[in-house]
Structure 1
Amino acid sequence: MRYRTLTVAAALTAASLSGVSPAAAAEATSTVTIGLNPGTTAAEAVQALDDAPGVRVLDSEPATELGAVTVTVTGDAAGALAGDPGVAYVEKTPVARIMLTPNDPLQSQQWGNRLVKAPAAWEVTTGSADVTVAVLDTGVNPVSELAGRVLPGYDFVNDDADPSDDHGHGTAAASVVAAAGDNGSGFSGLCWTCRILPVKVMNGSGEGGHDDIAQGIVYAVDHGADVINMSLGGPAGSQILADAVAYAAAHGVLVIASAGNDGVSTPNYPAAYPSAVAVAGSTETDARYSWSNHGAWVDVAAPGTNAAQSKDGSYVWFSGTSSAGPVVAGVAALVRSANPQATAAQVRAAIESTADPAGSYVATGRVDADGAVRAVKVTDVTAPTIAWSSPAVSGTPRRGRITVTATAADTSGVATVELLRAGKVIGADTAAPWSLSFDSAGLNGTQTLTLRATDRAGNTRTANRALLVDNAAPTIATIKSTVVRKRNVTIAPAVRDNLGVQQVKAVVTNGAKKVTLTSTTSPWTLKWTAPRAATYPVTVTVTDRAGNTRTLTTKVKSPR
């Protein structure tokens, strides 16, 4: 069924052109559905709503067969229609989304992602570039699945700023955390857009001292990590390592550590420190892999075999608690993406409280990405802020491709900023700094443009601006030339432009030489003294205030 759209925003457009206040030009909008009682038409309901004080209807879509009309409004639609005998109900219109199935070739084999309900979690968030996971390991190479998201890091083994992976373990762990999903290649990590901070604390043989690991933890905390993954450990603890894990906790950074692959219940460090989340390896049936360490000191389990990318870019299957830990780190990054205000303690609580039962080998259960993400998801009903940065409001006309910049902000994050004209989207940007452009070809006169910001919860706010657009070239009707004594020539083109001429230029050709004459004020007369009696080609170019030009070629004659 095709529905007709009724546009009833004329009042808004008129107000924009007449110079509305900044507050009125940036109002929160909402979409609601109005159920109609028998005998009431959609048009009547829309008109009643638009007539209500403090409410403006921006557009409407009637669903006649269902006895309803969906409207986008500013103001309180429910309050305005309360008690209206023609209205059966008023409800905020929920948004449904397609069920996300990544198109990565290995996705069908990634039983671990399905087991932890990652696809359902991705319906809420696929991650955020504002979330950083530090991988303390053998280093991380910027392989294809992590392209553009590996930050500068540090190598505490060789004491330099090159944390390249000379083993492969660290790159594999990082790819389990954050391999790009739905990009048509390889496999899907957990947090598709989060960033990786590489911190090399183990050498090419896969070994590292507690002193380097402790320094790596402090470095990660001080360089903006939200989550630290450590797929490393051993049966011995140390004061320096315990202090470093405590340092991370005190600074609001969640530490994820692998429980170890010895198949024993003996505590492994740093996983066994209370501030760390210890991770065991689980099978497709939520049983414990025989090689996974276990016991009450192990907090959660996660799939112990996952697709990964090695240091040379090849795709491998990565097994062990070294693979399970990054799954939990990726889930933690998704949780932080869903609620940037969540503390490390809240992220941990969300992971542990929503874990699915997995058996006595682990304290809580097997991690549930969807449950953890939804446990902290914020019900956001506050619209983002949106404001124009450029072009500034002025009488200067613009032409051709016009670039618009904006500022937008929201506590849960701005998803998109769109540019609209006459209700249609003509430009969009999905990341700050917000810059949009459109081709104004064919447009002339005052054009009302709308910036619309949408946050991650679907709330929107708009801001309008009227811009003067001029894509019409000026005219040159005639070019008159007069000659006074001593070969003094006056060139006087008859020029015109609706928004004003900025400059008239004449180029006189005298053999191999050219003489350029300009005028920037009316009357547009150009004076020149001919070197001798002759006929000279002249090209006159007129430029208007928007930069449009018109050119006409003629000849002037200078007699003896």
Structure 2
Amino acid sequence: MWYRALTVALVAGTLSGASPAQAATNPSTVTIGLRPGATAADAIRDLDATPGVRVIDSDATPQLGAVTVTVTGDAARALAGNPDVTYVEPTPTASALLTPNDPLYPQQWGAGVVKAPAAWNVTTGSPDVTVAVVDTGVTAVSEIAGRVLPGYDFVNDDADPADDHGHGTMAATVIAAAGDDGTGIAGLCWTCRILPVKVLGADGSGGHDDIAEGIVYAVDQGADIINLSLGGPEGSTILSEAVTYAAGHGVVVVAAAGNEGVTTPVYPAAYPKAIAVAGSTATDGRYDWSNYSGSWVDVAAPGDNPAQADDGDYWWFTGTSSAAPVVAGVAALGLSAKSGVTAAQVRAAIEAAARPAGSWVAAGRIDAEATVKALTSGPTIAWTAPATSRTPRRGTVTVTATATGATRVELIRAGKVIGTDTRAPWSFTVNSAGLNGTHTLTLRATGPAGHTRSASRALLFDNTAPAISKVKLSKTRTAVTIRPTIKDALGLKQVKAVITAGSKRYTLTSSKSPWTMKWKTAGRRGTFPVTVTATDRAGNTRTYKIKI
């Protein structure tokens, strides 16, 4: 079986130079959302009244209904049952984004789309991270000079993996071109090292045996990530086992999905242990040449990127062969930002942080900033519904949330997990039968590196129907007054009486205490059945039948 490098086009001439709750002694800053009518002073007073919590500083923004406080202790827990509080969130910081001075960087639209500058504010890479480029070889051009390790050529069976095609070098420079050095382009991981493994010949093709050997070699040489910008329509046992070998040894495997514009699987990308990468446009659409599938294609990445070829010139490098190195570069940033994370955690972060791009790709378009954040600072979680309300709820309640960088979101009540979701949109159905009064529900998001973040909301429940102890009737010659005696812990909404007089029904309603209703009899004589129905604020009902 022979595979070819997956490139759509090389175009010259258009590039020109020019964590958990902090201890009580460790202050934290949070922002508190307030319901209309609530005041910052009330929230601060509630915090100060909570044992173990002390407000050090506060700054209200009344126009936004919020107050930011610096506290010791757990502010979120202290305000979890407060109906005047809509959210309690850690207050993040922002800083100017790092923009490299490489002259061709302004043309690198893909870096902006995946939010690489924000990721570079955290890390620009590490020489401790090695990316193996299993391809046509790699030539140590200026963008990666000094960071290309000794490798191997499995096509010619020698120790000179120089690139005699250009494809592998361009993949390597998309991954690791030096950034902010005043020349050429900026790769994703500016300081990571490249392990060159030549498995494709000068014509851009190679056999499964050489590719499999190259993958195993990369693993045994200590590669952290393997980029496979190659593929074909048929799989083989040896190639599948090589990918499994890499994943089993804790290596992130990234592979191009192919450029035929079809849903037919391409290998090795379609192997479950590989991250299959499609090519996306500047607006997160699919390039018509990119293969796609909501089942076997995992993520998308910009599919048209400037790169340096083996002759030192710069070209537009187009295809899923160009998209896969973007993902490999983001994986390298993730490993650089957080030492000790596993390949599985890196993959989970890439997929969890991906932005929705449509049904043509499983997880979405990659996001470098969100990937790094998912590995270093954990996920974010916020309630979407239901809102905090003084109106009680009953029966089935739907809870929805927004989360970023999460691989799992759990819904917790009374210390027990009552629901788990593993993919957006995050949604839970809660059977509230038996719940009465205020109960705190907590959403807990878990990130790929094990970080957790929680958001709590106090909800009012009422699953008990009103109690009608008696109904008093007072009669005159022209009217009957109906006075029910009703109790409900959280209040009534309406009382209704339905009187059946022959073929006619008369409905009386009352919406305020003492729930008195009057029926004008209009001279009618006889005995008439009456059904009194009490409805509480949650919608629970109770009936009481009498006769007039």
TM-score bracket, normalised by the shorter chain, equals 0.5 to 0.7
By how many angstroms is 1:95 displaced?
8.6
Distance across 1 between alignment mates of 2:368 and 2:199:
28
Given candidates 247, 250, 253, the residue that maps to 1:249 is 247
By how many angstroms is 1:99 displaced?
2.3
Change (3 A) 1:292 1:96: closer
Distance across 2 between alignment mates of 1:257 and 1:294:
13
Q: Is the 8 A contact 1:103 1:182 kept in 2?
A: yes
1:523-545 CA-to-partner distances (Å, cap 9, x unmatched) read xxxxxxxxxxxxxxxxxxxxxxx
In the alignment, what sits opposite 1:334? 333
By how many angstroms is 1:346 displaced?
0.3
In the alignment, what sits opposite 2:321? 322
Given candidates 166, 174, 182, the residue that maps to 1:184 is 182
Overall identity of the aligned pairs, in %: 71
- Equivalent position amino acid for 1:245 in 2: V
Provide the secondary structure at the position in 2 that maps to 1:229: strand
Distance across 1 between alignment mates of 2:339 and 2:200:
31
- Equivalent position amino acid for 2:333 in 1: L
Task: Give the 5 Å matches for 1:350-389.
Answer: 350-377=349-376
Distance across 2 between alignment mates of 1:203 and 1:133:
20
In the alignment, what sits opposite 1:4? none
Structure 2 residues not aligned, in runs of 5+: 1-25, 29-71, 74-90, 379-548
Provide the secondary structure at the position in 2 that maps to 1:278: strand
Greater RCO structure (CA 8 Å; 6+ sep): 2
Matched, 1:113 2:115: no
In the alignment, what sits opposite 2:198? 200
Provide the secondary structure at the position in 1 that maps to 2:231: coil
By how many angstroms is 1:282 displaced?
0.5
- Equivalent position amino acid for 1:352 in 2: E
- Equivalent position amino acid for 1:301 in 2: A
Task: Give the 5 Å matches for 1:131-530.
Answer: 131-295=129-293, 296-377=295-376
By how many angstroms is 1:179 displaced?
0.5
Structure 1 residues not aligned, in runs of 5+: 1-30, 34-77, 80-92, 380-560
Distance across 2 between alignment mates of 1:94 and 1:320:
37
Provide the secondary structure at the position in 2 that maps to 1:280: strand
- Equivalent position amino acid for 2:169 in 1: T
- Equivalent position amino acid for 2:358 in 1: G
Distance across 2 between alignment mates of 1:174 and 1:99:
25
Provide the secondary structure at the position in 1 that maps to 2:271: coil
Q: Is the 8 A contact 1:127 1:338 kept in 2?
A: yes
Q: Is the 8 A contact 1:339 1:378 kept in 2?
A: no
1:256-301 CA-to-partner distances (Å, cap 9, x unmatched) read 0000001110000000000000000001111110110011210000
Q: Is the 8 A contact 1:272 1:298 kept in 2?
A: yes
- Equivalent position amino acid for 2:368 in 1: A
Distance across 2 between alignment mates of 1:324 and 1:211:
25
Distance across 2 between alignment mates of 1:165 and 1:360:
37
By how many angstroms is 1:32 displaced?
9.7
Q: Deviation above 2 Å: which 4+ runs of structure 1? A: 93-99
- Equivalent position amino acid for 1:338 in 2: A
Return the TM-score normalized by structure 1: 0.51
By how many angstroms is 1:147 displaced?
1.1
Provide the secondary structure at the position in 2 that maps to 1:274: coil
Provide the secondary structure at the position in 2 that maps to 1:228: strand
Q: CA RMSD in A?
A: 2.4
Distance across 2 between alignment mates of 1:278 and 1:95:
34
Provide the secondary structure at the position in 2 that maps to 1:208: strand
Return the TM-score normalized by structure 2: 0.52
By how many angstroms is 1:325 displaced?
0.2
Q: Is the 8 A contact 1:353 1:364 kept in 2?
A: yes
Distance across 1 between alignment mates of 2:225 and 2:242:
14
In the alignment, what sits opposite 1:438? none
